[in-house]
Structure 1
């Protein structure tokens, strides 16, 4: 690993950071990545994608994949770094610029050792992770065809640089979204008895929903119900006719996940009936739980230890990650690498330590090489265990 390569990857990361693009709009980001890959003579595959880049290194079989995400968030940056976002209201507040730089670095390292690879490494620079649509776009385009294992990462701001965390089995949660519309009867704020107060009804619904994790399901189950948007009314002296709530449910148990919508419907209908209001629920199923393959989780930890990382047991996460879609098609593992930011993911002051980039790039290059060697020597049953 050289200082020049580290400086190059940090430079690319900062260029991406200054020019963030929202999910599905990563046109300039796509062109930048294409240009950098072209400069390194890394071949790119032609898939029917609006944004995103698929690169490949090596030849023959087996074939494994590495994945980076490239989109940003609708957040106004306030980190104060001198390479802050130049696009108002858009920021790489989740570190996808870091993930892209890591996989670009892995691509360069693998390209330098291409002649020694015992197969092919396909690198996915995926759009639209934040909207949980990008992975499925790539799957539908056929990028997983013949892929025998897939690997990805997320930076972990709560962990020090040089720390690595992974686990076999369930890791990230099922992610579902709901919208609740409460319809009452508008009235003058001074004469509430003449109406049906949708704000009071909606407020009671918010409180009642919090009983679901503790009273409708076992306390041993991981269930989070969060109302994140409450919108109603447009002036100070009128009780609004309607209020709209929006939020998310996070689970790991698929049986619990399947039962939640009806439980929510029962709660909101009961509360609405008590206040004389009408209510409707819109349910939007998001990405499934991310479940790592046990074999590849152990394998990834072994390579991390050889690469000099300090291993830390991974805790189950309630966040979501559309890498889960890939793992429903092929085995693999999603890992956490420490980024030591004082402020967490999706915060306007999020500022990961760039010292993680080069070691992570070296790690994924090693992981890819060793995974290819392992697949060459192993039976399919062994790696799918």
Structure 2
């Protein structure tokens, strides 16, 4: 049986050598070597990065998923295990996830003779760009799978805490980019130009009114502008302006309404200011929807493992492309406390490795209940 020191060493190695989405070649090799060294069957699917393994036998298949990619962030933890790759960091804890799923895989391997079916372990690339799970689905990894499960570490929860709810667990994630084409000129002669800065100001104010004036108080949405750019000096009116940001919603109706309202605003301002305004609106992962029956089984497994279970009242506003899998087959997804002073995607994010002590046992217990 794999001991906790080995699990921690796996995590630390993954942390030292992170790779961004679709570039996880060495990470995939490390996972493959660990699996092969422990006589775990690897199943061939058309994937450039990431891989699939199986434990057990029989017709019933339960899937267990982890993400494997890192973020383009320069680490600032100054730890002994700090990233050795410039500008890349496991700032979302996928190193924790990989080590946890590997530990669970070894425990399942030890029980292989008594498993009532097969566990298909999915080491998924490119979660951070929101398309890796869909790529796996298209590769056929969920064919004949009964249910799928996974988890994410949560640095806002203490070690030993576990959070879950049925229904929407995370938000749908969309990205928008808006390009304004006006007419530049001399700053002293604005009447000869069509200043995109003025349009930009109106656009930003109007976009921020979508949630407060178009979304019901009984629904939820987030609209955030993350980048604004226009001009490059003090005495010139520029030709163009640009903004981009994100929308987070929890149901299809609110998602559609937000997108339509944003398009209406762009069209209206284009007409009012006689300018060209182009909206690019990109749908990224859907909301993760937890199956109600599977959620209850996850709660039971968490309690059996000794976790303090929190029943979430509201979904998290983070995105998670596990939704592509749980949209395909019934799924359940949970948050497990990793107790870091700094949150996910922060250069000083530093999860507590004690999460590795219970999380694998929870997954093993849950999988036994899912057959």
TM bucket (normalised to shorter chain) is over 0.9
Cα distance in 1, alignment partners of residues 122 and 164 from structure 2: 21
Residues 343-352 or 227-236, more deviating:
227-236
Partner of 1:378: none
Q: Secondary structure at the match of 1:337?
A: strand
Cα distance in 2, alignment partners of residues 126 and 12 from structure 1: 17
Cα distance in 1, alignment partners of residues 237 and 17 from structure 2: 43
Structure 2, gaps ≥5 residues long: none
Shift of residue 285, structure 1, vs aligned partner: 1.3
Partner of 1:243: 241
Deviation readout 1:179-236 (Å, 9 max, x if unpaired)? 1001111122343333222123212211211110111121111111111111222334
The alpha-carbon distance between structure 1 residues 147 and 84, as it changes in their structure 2 partners (threshold 3 A), is same
Tell me whether 1:29 sits opposite 2:27 in the alignment.
yes
Cα distance in 2, alignment partners of residues 216 and 327 from structure 1: 29
Deviation readout 1:239-290 (Å, 9 max, x if unpaired)? 2211111111111121121222221112123334444432111111112111
Cα distance in 2, alignment partners of residues 14 and 115 from structure 1: 31
Retained in 2: the 8 A contact 1:296–1:333? yes
Q: Secondary structure at the match of 1:148?
A: strand
Q: Secondary structure at the match of 1:320?
A: coil
Q: Count matched residues.
A: 370
Cα distance in 1, alignment partners of residues 135 and 3 from structure 2: 32
Moved over 6 A (4+): none
Q: Secondary structure at the match of 1:17?
A: helix
Shift of residue 159, structure 1, vs aligned partner: 0.4
Deviation readout 1:24-70 (Å, 9 max, x if unpaired)? 11001000000111111111000010000101000003110100000
Cα distance in 2, alignment partners of residues 361 and 201 from structure 1: 53
Partner of 2:223: 225
Partner of 2:340: 341
Retained in 2: the 8 A contact 1:23–1:130? yes
Alignment map for 1:361-380 (pairs within 5 Å)? 361-372=360-371
Cα distance in 2, alignment partners of residues 247 and 182 from structure 1: 15
Alignment map for 1:189-228 (pairs within 5 Å)? 189-228=187-226
Structure 1, gaps ≥5 residues long: 373-385
Q: Secondary structure at the match of 1:211?
A: helix
Partner of 1:376: none
Partner of 1:359: 358
Deviation readout 1:289-317 (Å, 9 max, x if unpaired)? 11100000000000100110001122311
Residues 200-209 or 135-144, more deviating:
200-209
Deviation readout 1:9-31 (Å, 9 max, x if unpaired)? 11111111111111111001000
Q: Secondary structure at the match of 1:317?
A: coil
Alignment map for 1:45-84 (pairs within 5 Å)? 45-84=43-82
Tell me whether 1:155 sits opposite 2:165 in the alignment.
no
Cα distance in 1, alignment partners of residues 155 and 112 from structure 2: 33
Q: Secondary structure at the match of 2:71?
A: coil
Shift of residue 80, structure 1, vs aligned partner: 1.9
Retained in 2: the 8 A contact 1:24–1:127? yes
Tell me whether 1:332 sits opposite 2:326 in the alignment.
no
Q: Secondary structure at the match of 2:295?
A: helix
Q: TM-score, normalised by structure 2?
A: 0.96
Partner of 2:232: 234
Cα distance in 2, alignment partners of residues 37 and 231 from structure 1: 48
Cα distance in 2, alignment partners of residues 237 and 49 from structure 1: 52
Over aligned residue pairs, what C-alpha RMSD do you find? 1.4
Residues 309-318 or 338-347, more deviating:
309-318
Cα distance in 1, alignment partners of residues 3 and 229 from structure 2: 49
Retained in 2: the 8 A contact 1:44–1:54? yes
Retained in 1: the 8 A contact 2:297–2:369? no
Retained in 2: the 8 A contact 1:176–1:248? yes
Residues 323-332 or 230-239, more deviating:
230-239
Retained in 2: the 8 A contact 1:225–1:250? yes
